[in-house]
Structure 1
Amino acid sequence: MKKYMVLCAGLCVALAFSSCKSSESAYKKAYEKAKAQETQTAAQGPISTETPVVTPLETTPATQTTMVDNVDNATVRTEDVTVVSGAGLQNYSVVVGSFSLKANAEGLQNTLKNAGYDAQIAYNSARNMYRVVASTFADKSSAVQSRNQFRAGNYPDAWLLFKK
Structure 2
Amino acid sequence: MKKNWIWALALLLIGGMASCKSSQSAYKAAYEKAQEKKIEEPAPAPVAEQQVVTTPSTTTTSSTSVRERSERINAVDGNDALLKEYNVIVGSFRQRLNAQSLCERLRNDGYPAVLAQNAEGWYRVVACSFDNRPAAVQAREALQARYPQFTDAWFLINK
What's the secondary structure of 2:89's corresponding residue? strand
What 5-or-longer segments of structure 2 have no aligned partner?
Answer: 1-55
What's the secondary structure of 2:82's corresponding residue? coil
The one of 129, 152, 156 equivalent to 1:157 is 152
The one of 144, 153, 159 equivalent to 2:137 is 144
Counterpart position of 1:27:
none
Amino acid at match of 1:99: F
TM-score (norm 1): 0.53
CA contact (8 A) 1:74 1:144 kept: no
What's the secondary structure of 1:162's corresponding residue? strand
Distance 1:96 1:73, change over 3 A: closer
Higher relative contact order (CA 8 A, sep 6+): 2
Mark the structure with the bigger radius of gyration: 1
Distance 1:158 1:80, change over 3 A: same
Distance 1:102 1:148, change over 3 A: same
Q: How does 1:1-164 map to 2 (within 5 A)?
A: 69=60, 74-85=66-77, 87-126=81-120, 128-154=121-147, 155-164=150-159
TM-score (norm 2): 0.54
CA distance in 2, matches of 1:159, 1:72: 11
Q: Can you list the C-alpha shifts for 1:46-78, whole angstroms capped at 9, x where unaligned?
A: xxxxxxxxxxxxxxxxxxxx9594878754211
Moved over 3 A (4+): 66-75
What 5-or-longer segments of structure 1 have no aligned partner?
Answer: 1-65
Q: Name the count of aligned residue pairs.
A: 98
Percent of residue pairs identical: 38
Amino acid at match of 1:84: V
